[in-house]
Copies of this chain bind each other. A is one copy, B any other.
Amino acid sequence: MQLGFLGLGHMGLAIASNLLAAGHHVRAWNRSQEPLARLQAKGAEIVKEPVDALQGDALFSMLANDDAVRSVLIDSGALAQARKGLIHVNMATISVALAEELAVLHDRLGLAYVAAPVFGRPEAAASAKLHIVVAGAPSPVASIEPVLAALGQKIWPVGSEPKAANIVKIAGNFMIASMIETIGEAAALVQGHGVTAADFLDVMTNSLFAAPAYKTYGDLIARAQFEPAGFKLTLGLKDVRLALAAGEAAHVPLPLGSLLRDNFLDCIAHGESDKDWSALAGVAARRAGLDERDEKRPIA
């Protein structure tokens, strides 16, 4: 297929590489040059302007956030000049509000719009192990599914309204952040009674909670290993904000979401903006004064 690709961050670069490996022609654009050169070495065609990536069969985009999507696709006029019939596959984590706006806009412009956010860290993207949540009109989704198959271990269709995929992604990230908070409080509780976080999490992540997310984060938290960041704490706050905003739009109170937000701010106020979002788990220990009770005990 003739594909365009916008946004070559860690995730985007890995995904675009897999599209090339699957035999597609890829016209790529990115704000900074460095990743473009790397993708060019794998066979991509580099284009000057975003709009040049919107002239093929489909456009894949993995832009950083709502503002980047607005700036690169809408305000630039790129979308308005896209080839009629283009299928836009938006893999970014964006707000439900923007998802709704984009669905209307594409429809008006005669373009197909498919939301396809993913679960998985950059390593999973590189090894095509992503979980891809897909939503959009049946026909473009059917066209694009074979392409997505080269990018992940499983595709999860969740309906014909694009925003459905976005709310699933947002709610999923909310669940991860909630898990981190849960582990943080539980670990502080056992530490307060003389059991190490490592011993406790060894039990939990090998019994009831023997799941990928618990093992990955449980290990980081037990070792208080919050740097370098796999997913930055400020991005975690951004995603919780998306959950709260989506909740507000549908008047769904999310008290746990509110707690996450407050605790992310607590982290930022304590200089942890650039740490991994699993540093959230340290708030409970800090508030309990556990970090000061015994120097040799890890924070969480």
Nearest chain B CB to A197's CB is how many angstroms away?
A: 10
Query: Interface majority SS on A: helix, strand, loop or mixed?
Result: helix
Please tell me if A154 contacts chain B, counting CB pairs below 8 Å: yes
B168 pairs with A200, CB closer than 8 A: yes
Nearest chain B CB to A40's CB is how many angstroms away?
A: 33
The answer for the CA separation of A178 and B182 in the assembled complex, in Å, is 6
State which of A28-36, A68-76, A85-93, A263-271 sits at the interface with chain B.
A263-271
Please tell me if A188 contacts chain B, counting CB pairs below 8 Å: yes
State which of A7-15, A52-60, A285-293 sits at the interface with chain B.
A285-293
Contact of A207 among B119, B171, B255 (CB under 8 A): B119
B186 pairs with A252, CB closer than 8 A: no
A188 with B252, Cβ < 8 A, contacts A131-B207, A168-B200, A195-B158 known: yes
A287: which B residues are within 8 A, CB to CB? Answer: 252-253, 265-266, 269, 287
Q: Which residues of A contact B (CB under 8 A)?
A: 96, 119, 131, 133, 154, 156, 158-159, 161, 163-164, 167-168, 170-172, 174-176, 178-179, 181-183, 185-190, 192-195, 199-200, 202-204, 206-214, 243, 246-259, 261-263, 265-266, 268-271, 284, 287-290
Given A163-B193, A172-B186, A253-B266, 20 other A-B residues pairs in contact with their CB atoms under 8 A: A131-B203, A133-B203, A158-B199, A158-B203, A159-B194, A163-B194, A167-B193, A172-B204, A175-B186, A185-B252, A188-B254, A210-B211, A248-B261, A252-B288, A253-B262, A255-B258, A258-B259, A258-B261, A269-B288, A270-B289
Q: Which 6 A-B pairs have the closest CB atoms?
A: A192-B250, A211-B211, A258-B258, A269-B289, A253-B262, A252-B288
